[in-house]
Structure 1
Amino acid sequence: MTPQRVYRAPCPGCGAPVEFRSAQSTYAVCSFCHSTVVRDGETLSRIGKMAEVFDDHSPLQLMASGRWQARPFTLVGRLQYKGPSGNWAEWNVLFDDGSGATLAEDNGAYVMALPAAANRELPPAERFRVGAATAIDGKTYNIASNEAVMLASAQGELPKLPPLGQPFPMVELRSADGEVLSIDYGSVPPAVTRGRAVLLEELQLSGLREDSVKEEKARQFSCPNCGAPVEVQLEQSKSVTCRSCNSVIDLSRGIGAQLSHVRQEESIEPLIPLGSTGQLQGATWQVVGFQHRMGHEPGEDEQFGWDEYLLYNRQRGFIFLVDTEEGWSVVKPTTGAPKYADGAAFASYLGTSYQLKYSYQATTSFVAGEFYWPVARGQTSFNRDFASGASLLSMEQTPREITWSSGSTIDSDTVAKAFGVQDKKQLLKRSDAGPTSSAGIGGIGCGTIILLVIVLLILLVLIRACSDQAPGGGGSFRSGGGSFGGYSGGGGHK
């Protein structure tokens, strides 16, 4: 039950009814003429016209209702932002008790945040350096991003309204326990919110767009390199590859803009075809992107490779299915910032300590499909991979940002069954079915193992004989060594 009355008045622009459900809302956008109106007591004034919202294929919509921490709420407004890293939305949440919150939506990831007080005067945005640590109210945060963003459009009723199309700073800080603190410099004083990641199904939402919208039509254009038709399935995609010539096409400026592209001479066929769907973690995922990456450890000449599949689910967003020589894993970019000191042998996240396994330079060597960040052949990052049993943690560092991902290992048989590629079961096997496991022993066969032991004994006898005849004896040899490709997922992106 809402303990306050709903205020309704005619729009100053067209006369259509404009409604205010929240006492905190001072702005609204008329759903008929898109006039931006401001409320002053019982009076509405028109202050301009708002750009129409762009279709971000969000499952959310105005007046969708749900429940968070046993508190019923309704989505009553939306702000759409644009920045260097892409687009995202902030939904104005109205709880039944009249209080408000913000549900941030970014490429299928969601953060529910409540208004917060900084309890001190905040420094200018340029004082927050990405990658550094800072303390707010006695709590330590890592500075995850500091970008100049701008409001692209808005709808519904809103507690704030930055100037349309004018850049302003927005800083995001993350803590080791998964808290996200955002500082919005689009108002004076800056608005501060504190929040945590939520899954859409946790919010028990009803009235979603997917209840009435069953199909999404692909956008199509001609490849700037070969002219073949290229389809873009996801609104979030910032790059896509041409299936005819393998060119990587940059979409970050929009399909209507002049498109830049990079040709890829070689082609790698993914073991799991693009467009495949599979059941993982209780949800249906579609393979929308694939990239092959190469790595080498500092001071080593040898290289190793691994594959990453970008998976998409409309309610859960994006995750990565990673295929390395050590096995398969499922990872996702973290909301919080793990604790790690440069050069340390351990990192900790959400109460778990992870041991450093690999440090290496990574380069993207081939891409196919769609990606929600501008991926390109030749992109590099410095990666560190950590493990704690089956749990994995990885860090990717570029000159512009640091991205953490977490996840866990997965058996190759599970991958084959999930995506219906049992015919490739043997090709999918990695060290999770190696000679030290029961599956591996069963696959090799006892006769083969006995034969290998006999061959090894004969080799040892020959080596000993040669050693006895050689002057000085002794000698040494170097093992193959090298890393098996780590557990890295994603890249420098949000």
Structure 2
Amino acid sequence: MASSAPQRVYRAPCPGCGAPVEFRSAQSTHAVCPYCQSTVVRSGEVLQRVGRMAEVFDDHSPLQLGASGRLPADWPGGPGGPGGQAFTLIGRLQYQGEQGRWAEWVALLEDGTSATLGEDNGAYVLSLPATGRELPPPERLPLGLTTSVAGKPFSVAAHLQAQLVAAEGELPTLAPLGQPFTVVELRSADGEVLSIDYGSAPPQVQRGRSVLLQDLALQGLKDDESVREEAARQLDCPHCGAPVAVQLDTSKSCTCPSCHSIIDLSSGLGGELRHAAQRNPISPLIPLGSVGRFEGADWQVVGFQHRTGVEVGDDEEESFGWEEYLLYNRQRGFIFLVDASDGWSLVRPATGAPTHRDGTALAQYLGRTYRLTSRYRAETGYVAGEFYWPVHSGQVTSNADFAAVDGKGILSREQAPGEVTWSHGQRLDSAAVASAFKLDARAGLFRRQDAGPIGGIGGGSLGCGTLILIFIVLLILLVLMSNCSGSSGSSSYRSSGGSWGGYTSGGGTSDHL
């Protein structure tokens, strides 16, 4: 039975500056002095200085040290498990990976154990320490591998190199600052996330699932005044010097409204700002800042990107294009609205990994079967606005798209270096998209192919009028072909649909029928 008794707090003077350093968790072995950033290790009743920690960069997260909350009551673990326990955020670690930076927060539970609240594709994953069988070396867990953990199948969704760049507060363990180590992340079909940190010996394992901040009953977050101040924060474009306003606390990249350069924010506004110039700007059909209503909530357009794709094995290199709008709601996170020639889609990154074997045509996710429709190489051509990952022109991913056999969903797999991301969603009627943004007067500009079942998927049927029209067209073609005797060569027509997705945040979907 978990005890709710308060933990004993241990305080000792910092060996570097003499200021008090506090340990609230008996499991914490390291702490960072809030005054001089000395890294201290606790040995019994004595603190020893082992170096100096770089200051955390301001990622403008709504979380902060001292914020408290409560685990969802239905958290896995059975009777006497962690569900419903209160927790306090006591530490933060910031990591640099191959695709940008992210943060993990150390949460002290009321029974004295700890949990981790980490960023995950614009959302959060709450994890608890896990134990089990002896772990294989990281080279035996390549990207895309399916393996069993305690009889449950998991897929390796990330295999990358990372390094600790900054920390604050108290920490159960501490990887050497600036030294690369391997991180492997596995995901199950029902949304579980298993993270293996090879930066220590033995490797540290965390097991958890996606959570919404609103479900954690958080208190002590940065107040509304701080949020308003952050919303107005500005920087000077490193390319042209024009002022650039950054609206979101989670943005890792943005674009300059004056010269359209892409600015990398992953090192924080106080860090080095890198930029990449863009040419031939594209004006989005839905302006940045617009608010649309989907799923009973208001979503603001904060980012836009144009992408192109080329199907795998297409010798003619015929490309197709589509556009993605990144939508944001403070309580629900991010979703994607995708504008493709075959229709509109509303999709979101999947926490779990659908069941699928490379080279096969079927995938299973949340009790639904999906069939492969296309494989293609996708490239980002133009971006505008803000994004929760470091985006840039020329980013290339390998995509595979699937359509539900019952016609009620779409699924995509997108692979970038070191990471595989799945997305899932639904098609939308074009009139509903225009209405959601109160742009009914411009509904004609939103019109695309019908959002209903395509190519027989889902059991849709053709109307009598459509059949008559098809018969007439075929008859005309037969007459024309009969009058073209003696001609040589051949021609073909391939209908290229669009796709949807987000780099390290979603996949893509296209129908080539």
Aligned with 1:7 (options 9, 14, 32)? 9
Question: Are positions 1:489 and 2:501 aligned together?
Answer: yes
Contact 1:118 1:192 in 2 (8 A): no
Contact 2:14 2:33 in 1 (8 A): no
Q: Which residue of 2 aligns with 1:424?
A: 442
Judged with a 3 Å threshold, the aligned counterparts in structure 2 of structure 1 residues 363 and 84 are, in CA distance, closer, same or farther, namely closer
Aligned residue identity for 1:109: A
Q: Which residue of 2 aligns with 1:299?
A: 314
Per-residue CA distance 1:94-148 (angstroms, 9 max, x = gap):
222223211112453211111111321x333344322233444444332222222
Q: Which residue of 2 aligns with 1:23?
A: 26
Per-residue CA distance 1:248-307 (angstroms, 9 max, x = gap):
44555666547342432x332111111223333344433222112223434374443211
Alignment TM-score, normalising by the size of structure 2: 0.81
Could you tell me how far apart the structure 1 residues matched to 2:40 and 2:475 are? 90
| Coordinate RMSD, CA, aligned | 3.5
Contact 2:427 2:451 in 1 (8 A): no
Q: Which residue of 2 aligns with 1:112?
A: 126
Aligned with 2:425 (options 407, 426, 442)? 407
Segment drifting more, 198-207 vs 400-409: 400-409
1:344 is displaced (CA, Å) by 1.7
Segment drifting more, 341-350 vs 249-258: 249-258
Contact 1:100 1:114 in 2 (8 A): yes
Contact 1:367 1:377 in 2 (8 A): yes
Q: Which residue of 2 aligns with 1:337?
A: 353
Q: Which residue of 2 aligns with 1:261?
A: 276
Aligned residue identity for 1:371: F
Could you tell me how far apart the structure 1 residues matched to 2:198 and 2:416 are? 26
Contact 2:373 2:402 in 1 (8 A): yes
Could you tell me how far apart the structure 1 residues matched to 2:483 and 2:131 are? 81
Q: Structure 2: state its 5+ residue gaps.
A: 74-83, 455-463, 507-513
1:392 is displaced (CA, Å) by 1.7
Pairing of 1:50-199 with structure 2 (within 5 A): 50-70=53-73, 71-74=84-87, 75-106=89-120, 108-120=122-134, 122-199=135-212
Q: How high is the sequence identity, in percent, across the aligned residues?
A: 55
Alignment TM-score, normalising by the size of structure 1: 0.83
Contact 1:65 1:72 in 2 (8 A): no
Could you tell me how far apart the structure 2 residues matched to 1:34 and 1:306 are? 47
Question: Per the alignment, in what secondary structure is the counterpart of residue 174 of structure 2?
Answer: coil
Could you tell me how far apart the structure 2 residues matched to 1:458 and 1:150 are? 65
1:355 is displaced (CA, Å) by 1.7
Could you tell me how far apart the structure 2 residues matched to 1:188 and 1:357 are? 44
Q: Which residue of 2 aligns with 1:377?
A: 393
The structure having more radius of gyration, on CA atoms, is 1
Aligned with 2:289 (options 256, 275, 278)? 275
Q: Which residue of 2 aligns with 1:349?
A: 365
Aligned residue identity for 1:392: I
Question: Per the alignment, in what secondary structure is the counterpart of residue 209 of structure 1?
Answer: coil
Judged with a 3 Å threshold, the aligned counterparts in structure 2 of structure 1 residues 413 and 206 are, in CA distance, closer, same or farther, namely farther
Aligned residue identity for 2:377: Q
The aligned length equals: 476
Could you tell me how far apart the structure 2 residues matched to 1:92 and 1:253 are? 21
Could you tell me how far apart the structure 1 residues matched to 2:146 and 2:358 are? 13
Question: Per the alignment, in what secondary structure is the counterpart of residue 427 of structure 1?
Answer: helix
Per-residue CA distance 1:229-263 (angstroms, 9 max, x = gap):
44444465444333334344455566654734243
Could you tell me how far apart the structure 2 residues matched to 1:465 and 1:82 are? 65
Contact 1:304 1:482 in 2 (8 A): no
1:190 is displaced (CA, Å) by 1.2
